[in-house]
């Protein structure tokens, strides 16, 4: 299994859609075969279409607000000693998280295909919120599937979705979290694929959805590359790009431009959700060595039992609380290009407190997992090491959880 | 391959000038024993039984079958229990074809070859894998055929003509036509006449293939589709099991009574 250079990772799959011969694919019911093929052809066409690219760039700039800033966390770096810690503040994007890139592109594709309805899944509520925003912007009718447990813990985002005119469909099956929301959304699409477009909220699902999402979020690393060159004159010798990984859309977007570099030069570090310290449950299939399995139309490392039943997960962060992970991250793990680890709920909360104490930054619980790793390794690293954390979401949505766990209102 | 039990069954029902009646139940719903009792009891009225191996993230199943699957899993049903239910059933009803139906991850975790061997040992006649579409399923389908197990291809209203031809050509003794865009257990939202129209177009590609129709078939709709080679009823049966449990009634009796009614509607 080997990575190819100069070819975007999203395109390094075989004719059946597998990365490294075993991750990804399209394990879909027959009914979806045709809509998925249509979407694949349409996307193939659109990504080569100059007008479409121009349109995308226009909305990325004027609607999403690219580029998001790249800042040094001076006080935090000084406090910890060792490496310099920087942040790419993707949470500045319209709506407060990276999910807006994928949502905007899906809305544009939906319009190009002449469909009037768009549906999507959501965990933390950001994918749903952004899709509802994009749907409103482009005049599409929108339905969001969300686990009932997540609706309770991420209420601010639910309010936002409703305000944008989207219908939220609560999902009561299974663990009532993201995994069930994705299943229910796919079921809805099976029944309505003739007039409805489906947006998968991360780089997961059947092959084409991994590609569209990765293609959308890769804007983050295109911006970052320019910003690094501008800030340091050239690309520094030791860089670590740290990103949280749930499905893996922000991590892929953050890394895509840097995959061809040697890992000693630019190390890619993915941080999964380790769950509560004392719990056996987690949402870390990569770093805690889950077996390969098929979930939601793709083969990837999946938290599951010996029989192939999908395991319940647990994490304080709804956005990372997912038993599977993107096939492209499995590929990056097996080719050893990226390193994957996890942070527990407690470590993420501590990181959140430390970052917000020292810096004018309010990372949500998802990127707080990435900050936890940065805080852990920075003191051991040399001063010329540049750690960059993707602060991919804003903590407004976590208001209630933070209040409950940390006491005071923030 | 000698004429399979599935082929023989369709020959018989055609002679009787009626469609074959296929039922779907989830293995182990709501217990291992009950589910075997249900199978044995309904076998008088049905021609082929589809037995689902329960999965907890079934992306193409509606509420009724999900409920049955969760119930079976909660009661501790393992994949080997599914095989043992099937093989016990086959011991007493040798001439009833059994088709196992489920999702690919369970086969993948069990190991494809081991799974097929176990099917063979349990006298399983066919397999339906919901999320392993054509042409990705070709290698697996070939392995099944080698062991004398029918791999049942699915086709749906969205299947293009080009694909249809290829799928029919590579299919074994039975093909499953999904009546409409829906998960299992949806309300029949397409007129039966329209479904049969599409069905006959597919039949015309190869008259010798046995094509059954499933999804949305209940006591109310079954009669209108009796021109098909076979009809599958699943969710309506799962619903009956759920209701029986709720009302503390005997699921075996209630399900049997529904199946008997279904059979009467398509008898000539």
C-beta atoms of B157 and A295 within 8 A:
no
pLDDT given at position B29? 96
Q: How many angstroms separate the CA of residue B140 from the nearest CA in chain A?
A: 14
Q: Does position A132 have pLDDT exceeding 80, yes or no?
A: yes
| Number of domains into which chain B is organized | 1
Q: Does position A249 have pLDDT exceeding 50, yes or no?
A: yes
Tokens matching residue A245: 């990984």
Decide: A298 and A210 in contact? Cβ < 8 Å.
yes
Instruction: Give one word for A65, left, alpha or beta, with left for phi > 0 and alpha for psi -120 to 50.
Output: left
Which stretches of B122-171 are DSSP H helices? 138-146, 161-170
Q: How confident is the model at residue B99 (pLDDT cuts 50, 70, 90)?
A: very high
pLDDT given at position A407? 86
Decide: A186 and A173 in contact? Cβ < 8 Å.
no
Q: Is A30 within 8 Å of chain B by CB?
A: yes
Mutate one of B28, B52, B57 to test the A interface: name it (highest A CB count within 10 A): B57
Q: Is B181 within 8 Å of chain A by CB?
A: yes
pLDDT given at position A175? 84
CA dist B267 and B226 (Å) reads 9
Q: Which structural domain range is residue B142 located in? A: 5-266
Q: How confident is the model at residue A408 (pLDDT cuts 50, 70, 90)?
A: low
Q: How confident is the model at residue A174 (pLDDT cuts 50, 70, 90)?
A: confident
What CATH number does the domain located at A65-96+220-406 have?
3.40.50.1100
Mean per-residue pLDDT, A255-284:
97
* A34-67: b (≥16 Cβ within 10 Å) or e: bbbeebbebbeebbeeeebeebbeebbeebbebb
- Residue B72 neighbours by CB under 8 Å, 6+ apart: B26, B27, B28, B29, B30, B35, B54
Share of chain B above pLDDT 70, in %: 99
Interface of A with B in 157-196 (CB under 8 A): 173-174, 179-180, 183, 186-187, 190-194
Q: Are strands A167-171 and B98-102 parallel, antiparallel or unpaired?
A: unpaired
Which residue among A16, A34, A186 sits closest to B136, beta carbon to beta carbon? A16
What CATH number does the domain located at A27-60+98-214 have?
3.40.50.1100
pLDDT given at position B2? 63
Active-site residue numbers of B?
50, 61
Nearest chain A residue to B67, by CA: A173
Q: Does position B268 have pLDDT exceeding 90, yes or no?
A: no
CB pairs under 8 A between A and B: 114
Q: Is A15 within 8 Å of chain B by CB?
A: no
- Residues B148-206: pLDDT tens digits? 999 999 999 999 999 999 999 999 999 999 999 999 999 999 999 999 999 999 999 99
CA dist A107 and A96 (Å) reads 18
C-beta atoms of A295 and B57 within 8 A:
yes
Secondary structure (DSSP) of A158-204: HHHHHHTTPEEEEE-STTSSHHHHHHHHHHHHHHHTTTEEEE-SSS-
C-beta atoms of B131 and A29 within 8 A:
yes
- Residues A306-351: pLDDT tens digits? 999 999 999 999 999 999 999 999 999 999 999 999 999 999 999 9
C-beta atoms of B132 and A27 within 8 A:
yes
3-state secondary structure of A90: helix
Q: Does position B10 have pLDDT exceeding 90, yes or no?
A: yes
CA proximity to A131, closest of A36, A47, A216 = A216
Mean per-residue pLDDT, A12-30:
98
CA dist B157 and A33 (Å) reads 11
DSSP class of A60: I
Q: Does position A387 have pLDDT exceeding 80, yes or no?
A: yes
CA dist A301 and A291 (Å) reads 5
Please state the domain extents for chain A.
27-60+98-214, 65-96+220-406
Q: Is B73 within 8 Å of chain A by CB?
A: yes
Interface of B with A in 120-139 (CB under 8 A): 130-134, 136
pLDDT given at position B1? 46
Q: Does position A247 have pLDDT exceeding 90, yes or no?
A: yes
Rg of chain A in Å (alpha carbons):
19
B contacts of A296 (beta carbons < 8 Å):
57, 59
Nearest chain A residue to B188, by CA: A191
| Residues forming a β-bridge with A291 | A302
CA dist B258 and A337 (Å) reads 58
Q: Does position A377 have pLDDT exceeding 80, yes or no?
A: yes
| Residues forming a β-bridge with A118 | A142, A197
Tokens matching residue B15: 């002679």
Share of chain B above pLDDT 90, in %: 98
- Residues B223-248: pLDDT tens digits? 999 999 999 999 999 999 999 999 99
Q: Does position B39 have pLDDT exceeding 60, yes or no?
A: yes
Which residue among B60, B70, B160 sits closest to A190, beta carbon to beta carbon? B60
Identical topology for domains A27-60+98-214 and A65-96+220-406: yes
Mutate one of A13, A15, A17, A30 to test the B interface: name it (highest B CB count within 10 A): A30
Q: What is the mean pLDDT of chain A?
A: 96
Share of chain A above pLDDT 90, in %: 98
DSSP class of A36: H
Q: Does position A409 have pLDDT exceeding 60, yes or no?
A: no
A contacts of B156 (beta carbons < 8 Å):
29-31, 33
* A348-385: b (≥16 Cβ within 10 Å) or e: bbbbbebbbebbebbbbbbbbbbbbbbbebbeebeeeb
- Residue A42 neighbours by CB under 8 Å, 6+ apart: A109, A112, A113
Q: Is B158 within 8 Å of chain A by CB?
A: yes
CA dist A120 and A197 (Å) reads 9
Which residue among A25, A187, A306 sits closest to B59, beta carbon to beta carbon? A187
Instruction: Give one word for A6, left, alpha or beta, with left for phi > 0 and alpha for psi -120 to 50.
Output: left
Nearest chain A residue to B77, by CA: A307
Nearest chain A residue to B103, by CA: A294
Mean per-residue pLDDT, A135-162:
96
A211: phi then psi, degrees, rounded to nearest 5:
-65, -45
The H or E element containing residue B21 is strand B20-26
pLDDT given at position B6? 98
Question: Strand order in A338-343's β-sheet?
Answer: A70-72, A84-88, A385-390, A238-244, A266-273, A338-343
């Amino acid at each position: 299994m080997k990575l190819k250079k100069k070819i975007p990772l999203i395109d390094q799959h075989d004719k059946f859609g597998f990365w490294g011969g075993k991750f990804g694919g399209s394990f879909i019911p027959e009914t979806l075969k045709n809509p998925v093929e249509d979407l694949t052809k349409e996307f193939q066409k659109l990504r080569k279409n100059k007008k479409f690219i121009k349109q995308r760039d226009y909305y990325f700039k004027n609607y999403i607000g690219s580029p998001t800033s790249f800042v040094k966390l001076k006080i935090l770096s000084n406090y910890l000693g060792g490496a310099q810690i920087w942040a790419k503040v993707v949470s500045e994007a319209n709506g407060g998280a990276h999910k807006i890139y994928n949502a905007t592109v899906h809305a544009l594709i939906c319009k190009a295909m002449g469909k009037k309805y768009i549906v999507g899944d959501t965990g933390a509520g950001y994918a749903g919120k952004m899709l509802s925003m994009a749907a409103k912007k482009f005049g599409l009718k929108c339905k969001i599937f969300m686990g009932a447990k997540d609706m309770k813990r991420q209420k601010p985002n639910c309010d936002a979705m409703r305000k944008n005119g989207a219908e939220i469909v609560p999902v009561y099956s299974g663990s009532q979290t993201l995994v069930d929301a994705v299943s229910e959304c796919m079921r809805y699409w099976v029944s309505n694929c003739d007039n409805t477009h489906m947006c998968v909220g991360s780089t997961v699902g059947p092959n084409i959805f991994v590609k569209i999402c990765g293609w959308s979020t890769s804007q983050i690393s295109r911006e970052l590359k320019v910003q690094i060159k501008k800030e340091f004159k050239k690309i520094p010798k030791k860089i670590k790009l740290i990103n949280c990984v749930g499905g893996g859309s922000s991590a892929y977007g953050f890394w895509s431009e840097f995959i061809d570099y040697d890992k000693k030069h630019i190390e890619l570090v993915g941080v999964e959700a380790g769950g509560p310290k004392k719990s056996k449950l987690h949402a870390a299939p990569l770093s805690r060595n889950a077996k390969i399995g098929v979930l939601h139309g793709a083969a990837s490392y999946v938290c599951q039992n010996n029989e192939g039943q999908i395991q319940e997960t647990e994490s304080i962060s709804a956005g990372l609380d997912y038993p599977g992970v993107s096939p492209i991250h499995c590929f990056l793990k097996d080719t050893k290009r990226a390193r994957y680890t996890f942070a527990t709920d407690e470590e993420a909360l501590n990181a959140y407190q430390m970052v917000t104490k020292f810096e004018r930054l309010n990372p949500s619980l998802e990127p707080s997992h990435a900050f936890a790793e940065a805080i852990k390794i920075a003191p051991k690293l040399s001063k010329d090491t540049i750690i960059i954390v993707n602060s991919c979401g804003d903590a407004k949505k976590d208001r209630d959880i933070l209040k409950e766990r940390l006491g005071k209102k923030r | 391959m000698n004429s399979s039990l599935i082929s023989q069954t369709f020959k018989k029902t055609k002679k009787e000038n009626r469609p074959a009646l296929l039922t779907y139940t989830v293995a182990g719903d709501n217990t291992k024993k009950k589910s075997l009792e249900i199978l044995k009891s309904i076998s008088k009225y049905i021609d082929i039984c589809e037995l689902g191996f329960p999965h907890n993230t079934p992306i193409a199943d509606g509420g009724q079958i999900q409920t049955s699957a969760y119930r079976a899993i909660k009661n501790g049903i393992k994949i080997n229990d599914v095989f043992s239910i099937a093989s016990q059933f086959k011991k007493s009803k040798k001439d009833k074809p059994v088709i196992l139906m489920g999702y690919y991850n369970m086969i993948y975790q069990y190991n494809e070859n081991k799974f097929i061997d176990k099917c063979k040992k349990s006298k399983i006649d066919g397999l339906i894998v919901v999320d392993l579409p054509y042409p990705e399923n070709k290698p697996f389908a070939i392995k099944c055929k080698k062991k004398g197990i029918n791999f049942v291809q699915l086709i749906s209203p969205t299947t293009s003509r080009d694909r249809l031809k290829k799928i029919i050509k590579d299919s074994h003794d039975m093909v499953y036509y999904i009546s409409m865009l829906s998960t299992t257990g949806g309300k029949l939202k397409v007129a039966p006449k329209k479904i049969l129209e599409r069905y006959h177009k597919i039949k015309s590609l190869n008259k010798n293939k046995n094509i059954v129709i499933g999804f949305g078939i209940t006591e109310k709709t079954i009669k209108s589709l009796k021109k098909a080679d076979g009809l599958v009823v699943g969710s309506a049966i799962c619903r009956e099991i759920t209701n029986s449990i709720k009302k503390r009634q005997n699921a075996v009796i209630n399900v049997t009574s529904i199946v008997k009614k279904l059979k009467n509607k398509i008898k000539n």
